[in-house]
Amino acid sequence: MDVYSSRIQVKSERRVEVKDVTEEVQVKLGESGIEDGVLFIFSLHTTNTLILNEGEPGLMRDVERWVEEAFARPDYRHDRIDRNAAAHIAASVAGNSLVLPVEGGKLALGTWQRVLHLELDGPRTRTLLVKVIGRKKENK
Amino acid sequence: MDVYSSRIQVKSERRVEVKDVTEEVQVKLGESGIEDGVLFIFSLHTTNTLILNEGEPGLMRDVERWVEEAFARPDYRHDRIDRNAAAHIAASVAGNSLVLPVEGGKLALGTWQRVLHLELDGPRTRTLLVKVIGRKKENK
Amino acid sequence: MDVYSSRIQVKSERRVEVKDVTEEVQVKLGESGIEDGVLFIFSLHTTNTLILNEGEPGLMRDVERWVEEAFARPDYRHDRIDRNAAAHIAASVAGNSLVLPVEGGKLALGTWQRVLHLELDGPRTRTLLVKVIGRKKENK
């Protein structure tokens, strides 16, 4: 059993933005050499999150709009300090991490599952920490 | 330390449906032989999710109704392709996985905690991937 | 690779209450001796949850108010048995566990990230189960 760690940078162009990072995560998994186990992606911030869902562009826009509407309130206390309380609350509810299965050295994802970074207070550059726990290929 | 993997099928009868799958998960854990560690349940789909909560039938209906109301919108873009954007967004927010503690070869759950599959776009048959990472019983 | 387990008690004074438990979790991680891996915090209850976000007091009150409003409904079935259906549903959506990275024997958190317990049906005393999976410091 082994632990592997690496980091990914994600850059957003808009305030609320869904971006597909599946390939970047798969590259890190390949570097780990782990064949069977679990991969964790952690946000190191408080106003972004990670989701696993379909990467259809219309749906990505729907997610952005739902999040903007569901968490908007006119009178958050935190908005007096920094106008991003809604982003903090959305990130709290959706969670700081994504947990994914690894089989045969690949992410064991369903047909439509893509790893999506959800920026809630961009544009910014974010750091994601990737950790993989599992078994490397046995030596023959 | 060891990794164990298995799959569970879950069948729904309605579009939005909470179903208790605790026993099926416990059986897989028993097969793993792992005594102390963490069990992961992953959905391989984008319009269902897993939650850990009480299995009281009235509450299960309340969860279904809350989800149907909280994510409904008349004008999702993805609905022009496939009329299930609300299901995708609910699944994104609630998450693709459930993480559970294992102690003494059993799920270490509180008195009222049950593993619940939440179908958001049924009726369908779904595949759940179960992985367990941990320590097997030591040989005496 | 090793597995470590411990428990934390959290006491709330109000019905809905965010409380910072980062230090208690860090102490348990120190006791584990694990240097590199993943730390899991599990609720053993069905009407509380854990989030990772900023510990700014105004924001903690905003989270409490958002949760109270977003899940309130006048006619939950479960409320005929026990008047806390909204708390169960909020806990289901936010999740039963928090997953955190461990590096150099410390929680690898971003500048603003704090481990927050969110009580949804207090005042109560809650038990949290902490598990750490990873590698201990190598002997020199």
Q: Which domains does chain A carry?
A: 2-136 (2.60.120.460)
For residue C138, what pLDDT band results from cuts at 50, 70 and 90?
Answer: confident
Tens digit of pLDDT for each residue in B98-113? 999 999 999 999 999 9
SS (H, E, C) B54-73: CCCHHHHHHHHHHHHHHHCC
User: Contacts of residue B70 in chain C, CB cutoff 8 Å?
Assistant: 70
The residues with which B8 forms a beta bridge, in sequence order, are B128
Mean pLDDT of chain C: 97
Average pLDDT of the residues in B108-127: 98
CA end-to-end distance (rounded Å), chain A: 17
Total residues found in chain B within this entry: 140
For residue C140, what pLDDT band results from cuts at 50, 70 and 90?
Answer: low
Tens digit of pLDDT for each residue in C89-119? 999 999 999 999 999 999 999 999 999 999 9
DSSP string, C77-100: SGGGTSS-HHHHHHHHHH-SEEEE
Judge whether B43 and B128 are in contact, CB under 8 Å.
Answer: yes
Separation between Cα atoms, residue C101 and residue C105, nearest integer Å: 10
User: Contacts of residue A63 in chain B, CB cutoff 8 Å?
Assistant: 88-89, 92
Tens digit of pLDDT for each residue in C32-81? 999 999 999 999 999 999 999 999 999 999 999 999 999 999 999 999 99
Note if the pTM is more than 0.95.
yes
User: Contacts of residue C45 in chain B, CB cutoff 8 Å?
Assistant: 110, 112-113
Q: Which three-class secondary structure state does DSSP give residue B111?
A: coil
Judge whether B120 and B58 are in contact, CB under 8 Å.
Answer: no
Q: List the chains bordering chain B where 3 or more Cβ pairs fall under 8 Å.
A: A, C
Tokens 């049950």 correspond to what residue? B114
Of B5, B45, B131, the CB nearest to A110: B45
Q: Provide ipTM, 2 decimals.
A: 0.96
Q: How far is C131 from chain B (nearest CA, A)?
A: 8
Separation between Cα atoms, residue B95 and residue A42, nearest integer Å: 14
Q: Which three-class secondary structure state does DSSP give residue A27?
A: helix
Mean pLDDT of chain B: 97
Q: Does residue B46 surpass a pLDDT of 90?
A: yes
